[in-house]
Amino acid sequence: MKYAVLGATGQLGRQFCKRLSGEAAPLARDQVDLTRPETAPLVLGALRPEVLINCAAFNFVDRAEKESADAFAVNTHGVRELALACRDFDCTVVHFSTDYVFGLDQKRRTPYAEDDPPGPVNVYGTSKLAGEYLVRSCCSKHFVIRTCGLYGVGGSGGKGGNFVETMLRLAQAGKPLRVVADQVCTPTYTSDLANAVVELIATQRYGLYHLTNANACSWYEFARAIFELERVRADLTPIASAEYAVPARRPVYSVLSTSLYESLGFAPLRPWREALAAYLHERQQRAPPNA
């Protein structure tokens, strides 16, 4: 098998398994547990994939503030062990990081490049940034890909869906929705991301890349687009982050420039609004009749 996909039960992992169907071994936590360092070498030694795509992470941004040991165990220490195992088996590691490695510069309003100094504002972002450094230093055949605001069919298991599904569910239940209008980023469709990453891997141009859909919006604008495209009436109000109390601080602006990826000859991914329309179409195709 050429590829192995860790985090195969998550929304991005599922997308890679679908995209690489027949070419990828899906790996779940009971096979490789990032908190049990002995598991990765055993499985990589048995499967000998050429490329390990790591979609596994401790992704609970708010919980990470109190459960920092768990966040670092998975996103940092576990990722280091995985990268070392990949190095030992001469396997390329593809690892995902986040726009949340930025945020400290509160005045920033232009897209971040890969060589801009990071500055996370929460534990999750810090644990992911440390994981990036360890992948890059432990395994030379690496792609570290920072992305943002993922949504994919099936949603994130641990988080019980994704932002799009949550918005639609709450609107259909007639709940008033208050969504932050002062956090700007680029929501990204897992299908577009997985397709682009498979092409990027083929270049063997290892390194750190930013990869998201194009353009940017606030979470409020994203919610409004969901309801417009789905023709759903929703009681939607823009609010400031200060009005929405959560344990973890978020970046005010964390748009990622994808110029480095484009410099390899790739077209930018489609704009977030087009990607959202494609996602909404795909989920409709999958809905049971009369649903």
Q: Which residues are catalytic?
A: 124
| β partners of residue 104 | none
Q: Which stretch binds ligand NAP (CB under 6 A): 42-50, 105-113, 157-165, 247-255?
A: 157-165
Contacts of 123 by beta carbon, 8 Å cutoff, 6+ apart = 64, 65, 68, 71, 248
Residue whose C-alpha is closest to residue 95's, from 52, 37, 43: 52
Contact 119, 125 (CB under 8 A): no
Tell me the closest approach of the beta carbon of residue 96 to ligand NAP, in angstroms: 4
For ligand NAP, give the closer residue by CB, 128 or 224. Answer: 128
Please select the residue that binds ligand NAP; options are 98, 127, 186, 258, rule is CB under 6 A.
98
Interaction residues for ligand NAP, span 15-44 (CB under 6 A): 28-29, 32-35
For ligand NAP, give the closer residue by CB, 29 or 108. Answer: 29
Residue whose C-alpha is closest to residue 137's, from 93, 184, 89, 71: 93
Contact 119, 103 (CB under 8 A): yes
Please select the residue that binds ligand NAP; options are 92, 156, 218, 258, rule is CB under 6 A.
156
Tell me the closest approach of the beta carbon of residue 115 to ligand NAP, in angstroms: 19
- Residues 228, 158, 74, 14, CA torsion sign: negative
Q: How many residues bind ligand NAP (CB under 6 A)?
A: 29
Q: Which stretch binds ligand NAP (CB under 6 A): 16-24, 149-157, 248-256, 277-285?
A: 149-157
For ligand NAP, give the closer residue by CB, 198 or 265. Answer: 198
Tell me the closest approach of the beta carbon of residue 174 to ligand NAP, in angstroms: 26
**Residues 88, 93: Cα–Cα separation, whole Å:** 11
For ligand NAP, give the closer residue by CB, 176 or 246. Answer: 246
Q: Which stretch binds ligand NAP (CB under 6 A): 8-16, 83-91, 167-175, 255-263?
A: 8-16
For ligand NAP, give the closer residue by CB, 54 or 273. Answer: 54
Interaction residues for ligand NAP, span 253-282 (CB under 6 A): none
What are the backbone dihedrals phi and psi of residue 199, each rounded to the nearest 5 degrees, phi first?
Answer: -70, -35
- Cα 101 → chain centroid: 12
**Residues 120, 133: Cα–Cα separation, whole Å:** 14
Would you tell me the crossing angle of helices 79-88 and 123-138 to the nearest 10 degrees? 10
Q: Does 94 bind ligand NAP (CB under 6 A)?
A: no
Q: Does 93 bind ligand NAP (CB under 6 A)?
A: no
**Residues 57, 144: Cα–Cα separation, whole Å:** 14
Contact 3, 51 (CB under 8 A): yes
Residue with tokens 């992470």: 57
Q: Which stretch binds ligand NAP (CB under 6 A): 50-58, 111-119, 164-172, 235-243?
A: 50-58
Binding residues for ligand NAP (CB under 6 A): 7, 9-13, 28-29, 32-35, 55-59, 74, 96, 98, 128, 147-150, 156-159
